[in-house]
Structure 1
């Protein structure tokens, strides 16, 4: 017996009514894009995507270009629309799609109806009415292009030709940004990327957008070019960029832009030219270096460091990070590394960043700076001596921060005593900064190897037997204060042979310093300094740990090789 509708529970009726409404809605409207749906396994109606592409046809394309080419583009969209509107199993497409075949035949008429004519009303900004709708459709396609399936469907249905037509005519800067954004997302997928390369004239007009004056358009073009240089078609993109005219513009943007997002995207593009295959590096890096890439990156770092020391602006942290990554990548390229490794200003900036007391917010940048320092020291070992002798001065605020750190931790040193100590052993804040970085580099073998290498180079220059107990005490306090970080690194990780030897050298130097401190305790007691001693248990624990892990490998960093 059939149930009467009145006998159905109220909750069930409420659940059934929206279903009926949804079914009726799909009879008149295209399927919603995936980002507006719940997590339901479904596909976007192909005819919906084609309808969006059709709506992006530039209204004035027939006036700016030969009509035969435009008519061919329109007919191609019509043909694809008819093909995609063939019946499919229920649930895959909405009922409205059966109408698309007949509707698509009217696209040329629709195009002419929507085209602006002389004297047509415009808004307060002089933009033809309907640009908001164009931008809405474009943004939907921008989102859809992030999906590989949708991206391939879009390029099959002439989206690249439509976007090329838009880039070739006068459009609003927002429309230009959307067009570049769609292509940027398409370029993230292999098949659409090949289609971009094969679309006649597209790469050239994309590169021409570097000379736009709009910051957001420039952000999208830099992102698109970066994706291109990282793709399997990187050589084609590199050749498209290699002219002095284009490369000069890229450097000019980095040097003159005030837009933080644009600076970040632009330097990411520069990083893509440095951190790439040998073929791309050979094409792009020599002309960039001749145009002053190295000095530009160092000047950008100098500016970001001055901002970091004066005021903390979190939105600038990604810029600092990508600049350092670019410089570090450049420091290991044969034939170009000398421009980095011979620059003492850069070395000082990197050291100052490592010495920064509060590293949590810029930890990635500090770790990159440490790797950069290790790279530089491998070419310019005498700089380690300059650190030890205090020839590379740090920011005054860092001197006081280091003194405050020891005072808060141990309550034992005045500012005057700290200044005297730093004149005798000015590498103490740098050593402290290096040890601070171990927790931030636990998953980075290269970074940990760099840290041990630098520490070894510093500690072989420490003359613990020639130091007064008060000066030696500062070294011990720094080491003991970071004993947990040292022990965690020794216990949890294994290094390769070369890195292990550098670490062994550092550990043996720590053992020597701690042993000298142990033998000097009688002198300290005689001079009434017992309250200022580091905890004996902490010293003994660190000493035992370092001895244990320094017994198996020969040291590699010696006084003779470092001079």
Structure 2
């Protein structure tokens, strides 16, 4: 039987009726905020997206009170109250009161238990397996949202927006209740990126509970977490709130833990971060350094640094591992920073083992990969020789050491202090030489070293002559010891080379292996004459 067709008019009437009865579709997004409530922050990412990520972290943190931390965490009133406080703060930008995933899971378990019945043991096993799956899901979600915020926090505008929207409180709650090392690492990573910016860094340092919680993370036995906390702390020690961080780091067990990690870790990245933290403490603001350095020195900081230097030197001699070069540089920079502090310089300068290790570094045949470390070592050696009179005599006949000093010259061409330090050492080695008393073999060794490095010496002298900067000229007049070091060294070099030039023909007949290039000797001698004559005329 055929179905009667409806007229077009009837169809239109039914559609209009449906439109009147059918409710309007729900909005897929929240309406825009009034103009007076918009954020006055320029950002390439929608602020509402960042806020939604923070909100998701908070919900995960609340749920984590029962999942990440296990049953014990749920019974902690302090942690529970903190999470409830975070949840109440979240209500102002969370229009819905959605239940946590953990609570939904509990309801599902209850329904299963009532409807299915069965053996108690199997039900409990199912619960445990379900809880484990739920815990993994919670952590995976937190990791996803957290890693996005970690990247976004590298931007100043994003970081400031996060702080305005309670990200620090959310991360504090997560650090307090979570037992997941991955969650802790991500939380510390976000805070570390926030600390790269002045305003968020100041907010960090003004929250004592957050400061104490972050410092407590140095006791976590997880390498990625320790790397992040050791990256974060140096940034905080640079800020105006450095005194607050110093107070939190001051307890002996905290400082001992930092030293222990630096001394015992086998992970190069963690060692680099640990030594970087020690350097940051030494170079931190006066109010922080004055608090932390005395107990660190009492706990053996200089000995630790020298032991680490000895280990890195042994590694460097056995094999060249590029990832360890930065560690060597940080150790030397920390020693140099300590050596210029009046209260601690003597302990550094009087250490013979340190002097030996620095000399070994200077004598390395191939220095290109550790050039910066060699420059720092030269500065340390120069300061040590200035403070301890007999050190120069210990290496006065070490021709490999003298040769190594000239090899470092090209790396210090743009560093006035390093150039002065190198010439200061050379002068201390050469000035005591008495031409009328020197043996033929010693004279031959001196001339051999000087002539073989004639190109490097000429290049340095030419660069120095062309450099007419006020900084260089001021250094020549203000620091009398280092200012005249180059001239004194060149005068002594002139005397040694002249003595050889006068007698080279006669002496050559007595020497079986005379590998000195007379052309290099004459050219270097002429260069020294020209430079010293110009310096006298100034």
TM interval, shorter chain, is 0.7 to 0.9
Deviation of 1:241 after TM superposition, in Å, equals 0.9
User: Which is richer in helix?
Assistant: 2
Match of 2:5 in 1: none
Where do residues 210-221 of structure 1 align in structure 2 (5 Å cutoff)? Answer: 210-221=218-229
Match 2:491 to one of 488, 508, 513: 508
SS of residue in 2 equivalent to 1:466: coil
1: distance between equivalents of 2:133 and 2:418? Answer: 53
Match 1:449 to one of 411, 416, 420: 420
Query: Does the 8 Å contact 1:61/1:165 carry over to 2?
Result: no
Change (3 A) 1:69 1:309: closer
Match of 1:90 in 2: none
Match of 2:195 in 1: 187
Match of 2:64 in 1: 60
Match of 2:514 in 1: 532
Match of 2:51 in 1: 50
Q: Is residue 521 of structure 2 the alignment partner of residue 517 of structure 1?
A: no
Match 2:215 to one of 186, 191, 207: 207
Q: Is residue 383 of structure 2 the alignment partner of residue 375 of structure 1?
A: yes
Change (3 A) 1:481 1:126: farther
Can you list the C-alpha shifts for 1:127-184, whole angstroms capped at 9, x where unaligned? Answer: 4323112111111101111110000000011100000000110331011011011111
Q: What is the CA RMSD across the aligned residues, in angstroms?
A: 2.4
1: distance between equivalents of 2:155 and 2:269? Answer: 24
Higher mean C-alpha displacement, 338-347 vs 486-495: 486-495
Where do residues 96-107 of structure 1 align in structure 2 (5 Å cutoff)? Answer: 104-107=94-97
Unaligned runs of 5+ in 1: 1-26, 29-40, 82-103, 389-424, 555-563
Higher mean C-alpha displacement, 457-466 vs 445-454: 457-466
Match of 2:18 in 1: none
2: distance between equivalents of 1:364 and 1:255? Answer: 23
Query: Does the 8 Å contact 2:237/2:285 carry over to 1?
Result: no
Match 2:341 to one of 333, 348, 354: 333
Deviation of 1:467 after TM superposition, in Å, equals 3.1
Higher mean C-alpha displacement, 276-285 vs 436-445: 276-285
Can you list the C-alpha shifts for 1:515-551, whole angstroms capped at 9, x where unaligned? Answer: 111111131244376x835333322221121122223
SS of residue in 2 equivalent to 1:357: coil
TM-score, normalised with respect to structure 2: 0.79
Q: Is residue 164 of structure 2 the alignment partner of residue 128 of structure 1?
A: no
SS of residue in 1 equivalent to 2:395: helix
Where do residues 250-265 of structure 1 align in structure 2 (5 Å cutoff)? Answer: 250-265=258-273
Match of 1:223 in 2: 231
Change (3 A) 1:350 1:69: closer
Match of 1:142 in 2: 150
Match of 1:17 in 2: none
Match of 2:25 in 1: none
Where do residues 317-466 of structure 1 align in structure 2 (5 Å cutoff)? Answer: 317-388=325-396, 425=397, 427-466=398-437
Change (3 A) 1:126 1:379: farther
Higher mean C-alpha displacement, 41-50 vs 163-172: 41-50
Can you list the C-alpha shifts for 1:396-418, whole angstroms capped at 9, x where unaligned? Answer: xxxxxxxxxxxxxxxxxxxxxxx
Can you list the C-alpha shifts for 1:469-509, whole angstroms capped at 9, x where unaligned? Answer: 34322211211221122122112135321333111111111
TM-score, normalised with respect to structure 1: 0.76
Match of 1:73 in 2: 86
SS of residue in 2 equivalent to 1:54: helix
Match of 1:198 in 2: 206
Larger-Rg structure: 2
Q: Is residue 185 of structure 2 the alignment partner of residue 172 of structure 1?
A: no
1: distance between equivalents of 2:106 and 2:232? Answer: 31
Can you list the C-alpha shifts for 1:184-240, whole angstroms capped at 9, x where unaligned? Answer: 111111111121123351001111111111111111111111111112221221121
Change (3 A) 1:116 1:289: farther
SS of residue in 2 equivalent to 1:532: coil
Match of 1:289 in 2: 297
Give the paired residue count.
Answer: 455
Query: Does the 8 Å contact 2:202/2:239 carry over to 1?
Result: no
Match 1:269 to one of 257, 264, 277: 277
Can you list the C-alpha shifts for 1:249-296, whole angstroms capped at 9, x where unaligned? Answer: 111111111111111111111111112333222111111001111111
Can you list the C-alpha shifts for 1:287-334, whole angstroms capped at 9, x where unaligned? Answer: 100111111111111111111122222222111111111111111211
SS of residue in 2 equivalent to 1:218: helix
Change (3 A) 1:149 1:463: same
Query: Does the 8 Å contact 2:374/2:408 carry over to 1?
Result: yes
Deviation of 1:347 after TM superposition, in Å, equals 0.5
1: distance between equivalents of 2:133 and 2:275? Answer: 33
